[in-house]
Amino acid sequence: MVIKGCMFDFSGTLMRIEPAGRWLDAVLTAAGHDVPARQAARYAERLERAGALPGGAHPSAVPEALREVWRERDRSAEQHRAAFTGMARQAELPWDVYDALYDRHMTPEAWTPYPDAAEVLKELRGRGTAVAVVSNIGWDLRPVFRAHGLDAFVDAYVLSYEHGVQKPDPRLFTIACEALGLPTAQVAMVGDDRRADTGAAALGCPVHLVDHLPAADRPDGLRKILDLL
């Protein structure tokens, strides 16, 4: 079967979130807090252990009171914010910046495209391969793609919170294939999450996994897809 379309995950696949230290520093600076570097680094480490940064490290543990909202966090904008601000509060910061931290991660400045993302998406557009971004997320990432010059290469965005369905549920991938106007067997899925993104395989979609690494450490992880397709 000829592949005529490609679905891409967002976080950890096409773009990478900023490190927790930079994330916290940006928020503290904007709030006018002058915090010694060592103290800020200590609290950034707490946030990272708590899994408070969307797209960052997984939590070391999920408190009982947050387990349900955490499990279904990508089904709505409200659940997503509640889950991540709840996890951030586990770090017990001395400043009330939990909502500001959440707001920061939705800005284009908080995200870096992988080095080969633009090249690969442009090449797929040149080949006539339809592209969809399929993401478990609680907010509209389209402005991030526009700010980084990638929106022109994307034909459809299928975001979990807009449909009330999160990966690995095959329904989200079905919606994406329908948006591209292609049968599922003709659409590949590219992602970094072995559990969530391989849900597309249930529909007969070929799946290719990339490593969830900092952008500088994965310069050509996406480029290999061009040969596979």
**CATH no. for residue 179?**
3.40.50.1000
Distances (CA, A) of 44 to 37, 60, 107, 177: 10, 14, 19, 39
Q: Are residues 175 and 71 in the same domain?
A: no
Closest CA to 55 of 142, 136, 134, 150: 136
Strands (E) in 114-204, as ranges, are 130-135, 156-159, 187-191
| pLDDT, position 105 | 98
Confidence of residue 227 (pLDDT cuts 50, 70, 90): confident
Position 98 confidence tier, pLDDT thresholds 50, 70, 90: very high
DSSP state of 19: P
**Before 168, cis peptide (omega within 30)?**
yes
| Residue 79 and residue 56 share a domain | yes
The contacts of residue 78 (CB under 8 Å, 6+ apart) are 138
State which residues form the domain around 52.
Answer: 17-109
Nearest to 114 by CA among 214, 6, 19: 214
**Statement: residue 229 has pLDDT above 90:** no
Same domain, yes or no: 30 and 140: no
Confidence category of residue 228, pLDDT binned at 50, 70, 90: confident
pTM of the model: 0.96
Task: Determine whether 211 is exposed, middle or buried from the number of CB atoms within 10 Å of its CB (0-12, 13-18, 19+).
Answer: exposed
pLDDT class for 186, splitting at 50, 70, 90? very high
Q: Which two tokens stand for residue 164?
A: 């009330």
Q: Which amino acid, 193? A: D
Same domain, 38 and 86: yes
Higher pLDDT, 29 or 226: 29
109, 137, 162 - which closes a domain: 109
Residue 97 shares a structural domain with residue 119: no
Of 141, 150, 147, nearest to 119 (Cα)? 150
- Indicate if 100 and 133 belong to the same structural domain: no
pLDDT of the residue at 134: 98
What is the count of structural domains for the chain? 2
Instruction: Yes or no: say if 134 and 7 are a contact pair by the CB < 8 Å rule.
Output: yes
| Contact indicator for 70, 82 with CB cutoff of 8 Å | no
